[in-house]
Amino acid sequence: MPMDATELESNLSLFEDWEERYHYLIALGAKLPPYPEEYRDDQHKVEGCISQVWLRPVVLDGDPPRLEFLGDSDSAIVKGLFAVLRILYSGHTPEEILAVDLEDFFRRVGLEQHLSPNRRNGFFSMVEEIRRTALVVQQS
């Protein structure tokens, strides 16, 4: 069974210092499924990130439909941050995705204090892309 937000938050709380949490994020990123080379293009590139970041949404059949997200980055930390987003959003309906209070989760796990402004901007650029996709699927 894949990790959920509660387990992710619990795991992050096990680490006392941020160096250990960064290593955990990097390990999460290393466990991501391989990103298909054919989607490593401008259409799937996330704007607003200093690192190279690609994001591919997949709409899963069902009633209601659910979304899955594939992603990759040339930065190990950013790849780990995408892994966090994948845990929070993949497998959920557009309505569930749009209801996630990411700022609250971000505060609870302390990420807002430990990310550089550039990484934070990149993180929220990925979030905006995920939310935009959820809105499009919700309205279709």
Q: Which of 49, 83, 100, 109 is catalytic?
A: 49
> Greatest CA separation found in the chain?
45
Q: Is the pLDDT assigned to residue 1 strictly greater than 70?
A: no
Residues 55-106: tens digit of each pLDDT = 999 999 999 999 999 999 999 999 999 999 999 999 999 999 999 998 888 8
Task: Examine the residue annotation and report whether 53 is marked as an active-site residue of this protein.
Answer: no
Q: What is the pLDDT, as a whole number, of residue 58?
A: 97
Select the CATH number that applies to the domain covering 5-139 from these four: 3.40.50.920, 3.20.20.105, 3.90.1010.10, 3.10.20.30.
3.90.1010.10
Write down the mean pLDDT value for the chain.
91
Q: What is the pLDDT, as a whole number, of residue 50?
A: 84
Q: Is the pLDDT assigned to residue 126 strictly greater than 90?
A: yes
Q: Is the pLDDT assigned to residue 2 strictly greater than 80?
A: no
